[in-house]
Amino acid sequence: MTTDFPVLQNDRLLRAAKGEEVDFVPVWVMRQAGRYLPEFRELRVEHDFFKICRTPELACEITLQPIRRFELDAAIIFSDILVVPQALGMKVEMKPGVGPVFDSPLVNPQHLDRLIIPDVKQELKYVFDAITLTRHKLEGKVPLIGFTGAPWTLMAYMIEGGGSKTQSKAKKWLYQHPEASHKLLKILTDVNVDYLVEQVRAGAQLLQVFESNAEYLGLREFKKFVLPTLIDINKRVKAKLQEEGLEQVPMTVFAKGGHFVLKELGESGYDVVGLDWTIEPQVGRQLAGDKVTLQGNLDPCALYAPADHLEDIVKEMAAKFGNNRWIANLGHGIYPDMDPESVKNFVTFIHKYTKSP
Amino acid sequence: MTTDFPVLQNDRLLRAAKGEEVDFVPVWVMRQAGRYLPEFRELRVEHDFFKICRTPELACEITLQPIRRFELDAAIIFSDILVVPQALGMKVEMKPGVGPVFDSPLVNPQHLDRLIIPDVKQELKYVFDAITLTRHKLEGKVPLIGFTGAPWTLMAYMIEGGGSKTQSKAKKWLYQHPEASHKLLKILTDVNVDYLVEQVRAGAQLLQVFESNAEYLGLREFKKFVLPTLIDINKRVKAKLQEEGLEQVPMTVFAKGGHFVLKELGESGYDVVGLDWTIEPQVGRQLAGDKVTLQGNLDPCALYAPADHLEDIVKEMAAKFGNNRWIANLGHGIYPDMDPESVKNFVTFIHKYTKSP
């Protein structure tokens, strides 16, 4: 497929990410292509979750669903962070009502030998094909975001074998097997670098790194094990893009629950730092500094509020963030039982309260 | 039973809570009477969880188990925060491998009518009896801590019907049913005030209020719904103790994940503010201010580390907290698969690195 794409008509997201002026603040929603949309659920009846990820036409269709409904300023490719452990040879299923379940989680450091270092271009080709197809189908309407799960977040899933309230098995590795932990994190960092570069080659216009499990760590372990991998990914992806003559794209890091590391993330080289809803906008700005764009951070549950109450909350949030260097979003992915009408209202209110005079 | 108790021999905890000098920093462990102890598991084989809570002799025995093993500076009465919803008429079971399960959670505001405002002295008499018995059996070795679950944390359980990764059902109430939420929180606040006062009457020497579900909220909803209940409880308990000629005892508030509200908690009137392990000690001190004692905050998973590594971590933590106005603890309850030897080491290292010159 050609990567000679239609001209981009709405570059608000990219301008905001680079710190340039915008007519109003761009807005998108984490997990915007998801279960809260009836047209998504309809497709899921027929198709397994990971089958959708692996079928470019289906992944593309789902990516476009929210773009057809709402005046969003970005699309994000439909995929899952666990395609990376799958590419390393691990079996993962998505069980309804449970979430992801690993067939054989990593129980001890010897199990690292099971991992197969993948030819990323080949093993994750289906993601790149989905990105290229979606770029064409978007017809330049909005930019397309690519993403990956950060090494610690993936490591935690690979050891826990699914979701966990404490991540105590994965954290136990950090305390009991520091060498094996570094080794696993290095494998995941290396794969992530290639994975993100190939997403750009395929057509991704911004990259987001999801450190969804930051909240389980304190500063000590985060600095020792996690922060270096995040810094490394940003640096190496950008160097490789240049080396290979590919376009530079802005990069976002979102460490959910990482309130204790916002200063470090602000200095990590990423263009955008995502905030969860527990961070007050002014506090986030003070900690992350003036050189990055902030993204977030409405409480996902605020979308349950009646429209007039949601409007008040969005207005207050917009006033706190200001119109510069901000990408509006939720502070975490949208929940499956949300009324799509609330997303529509959220987008409307963001545009209303961030319009430049 | 008489409340003429043996003389207290170790008042480090109480001195530290009041900001007085100590020879070394007092240490205890949240959930120290718990599943990680083989003698606890042995008792649990024969007795249901809530049966233990309701049987003063058993609750007392379990409270004493860690005191026999370790040089701890406090005991905490064995009980559960969910005895309060039970006292309000809700049925809760503790299901092995699952956690607490409510028979009929609150689904909508009409269900508030189901709640029975209890005669606290009568309905929770078993807790008060357990406290009195334990005070005698402790023979003044260490002080006895009483506790309760804070209103928002209890409300979340009562609506979710058990544990939840997002607490989105309970949070939905805050956004969709603000009046009913305030009403429920008020009921829980009132019951908590009586419950805590009666614990002191029965012999509790320090009271801890567990706001374990703080982390699911942002500052806006916390300030609107939750903070007033916490302030109210502290103020009313202290007033009522005075009114009834009971001894004033220090009060601790522990809002897990409440990094965004530490400043407010520092000014809330509580004597002690608990910190989870995501808060750096200096940041906690800066936010909570100089007028409170801090409690915490070792990552519970640090107890998985080999002894020499744990020693380094504890030494670093002790240096950061300093010897004044600090009660050493974990940043959350201890996990069931922990080696009791690690608790012993933790206590030893705290004493070693906080000894006054």
Q: What long-range pairs does B96-101 form, CB within 8 A, spacing at least 24?
A: B98/B162, B99/B162, B99/B163, B100/B157, B100/B162, B100/B163, B101/B161, B101/B162
Report pLDDT for B196: 98
| pLDDT surpasses 80 at B99 | yes
Report pLDDT for B328: 98
Distance CA(A74)–CA(A84), nearest Å, equals: 23
Q: How many domains does the structure of chain B reveal?
A: 1
Q: What is the CATH number of the domain that holds A135?
A: 3.20.20.210
What is the pLDDT of chain B when averaged over all its residues?
97
Report pLDDT for B1: 78
Residue with tokens 């089958």: A51
Confirm whether B268 is domain-assigned. Answer: yes
ipTM of this predicted complex? Answer: 0.95
Mean pLDDT, rounded, for A133-147: 98
For residue A297, say if its preceding peptide bond is cis, omega within 30 degrees of 0: yes
| pLDDT surpasses 90 at A286 | yes
Give me the residues of B, 296-325, that contact A with CB < 8 A.
Answer: 299-302, 304-306, 309, 313, 316
Confirm whether B354 is domain-assigned. Answer: no
Banded model confidence at residue A64, pLDDT cuts 50, 70, 90: very high
Nearest to B72 by CA among B322, B344, B308, B319: B344
Report pLDDT for B356: 80
Confirm whether B101 is domain-assigned. Answer: yes
Contact B163 A165 (CB under 8 A): yes
Candidate from B175, B176, B305 with C-beta closest to A176:
B305
Phi and psi at residue B189, to the nearest 5°: -65, -50
Confirm whether B157 is domain-assigned. Answer: yes
Mean pLDDT, rounded, for A165-176: 97
Confirm whether A6 is domain-assigned. Answer: no
pLDDT tens digit sequence for B262-279? 999 999 999 999 999 999
For residue B153, what are the domain limits?
25-272
CB pairs under 8 A between A and B: 94
Report pLDDT for A356: 80
Contacts of A168 in chain B (CB under 8 A): 300-301, 304, 335, 337
Distance CA(A40)–CA(A67), nearest Å, equals: 13
> Is the four-CA dihedral B58, B59, B65, B68 of positive or negative sign?
negative
Contact A168 B215 (CB under 8 A): no
pLDDT tens digit sequence for A209-231? 999 999 999 999 999 999 999 99
Mean pLDDT, rounded, for B339-347: 98
| pLDDT surpasses 80 at A92 | yes
pLDDT tens digit sequence for B55-92? 999 999 999 999 999 999 999 999 999 999 999 999 99
Nearest to A106 by CA among A176, A189, A184: A184
Distance CA(A285)–CA(A287), nearest Å, equals: 5
Report pLDDT for A145: 98
A31 catalytic residue (yes or no): yes
Contacts of A257 in chain B (CB under 8 A): 215, 257, 278
A129 catalytic residue (yes or no): no
What is the pLDDT of chain A when averaged over all its residues?
97
Candidate from B168, B172, B277 with C-beta closest to A218:
B277
pLDDT tens digit sequence for B228-253? 999 999 999 999 999 999 999 999 99
Burial B117-154 (b: 16+ CB within 10 A, else e): ebebeebbeebbbbbbbbbbbbeebbbbbbbbbbbbbb
Residue with tokens 């990376």: A84
Confirm whether A321 is domain-assigned. Answer: yes
Confirm whether B304 is domain-assigned. Answer: no
For residue B297, say if its preceding peptide bond is cis, omega within 30 degrees of 0: yes
User: How many angstroms separate the CA of residue A210 from the nearest CA in chain B?
Assistant: 18
Report pLDDT for B350: 98
Mean pLDDT, rounded, for A78-97: 96
B157 catalytic residue (yes or no): yes
Confirm whether B350 is domain-assigned. Answer: no
Nearest to A218 by CA among B164, B218, B313: B313
Interface test with B, best of A30, A177, A278 (most B CBs within 10 A): A278
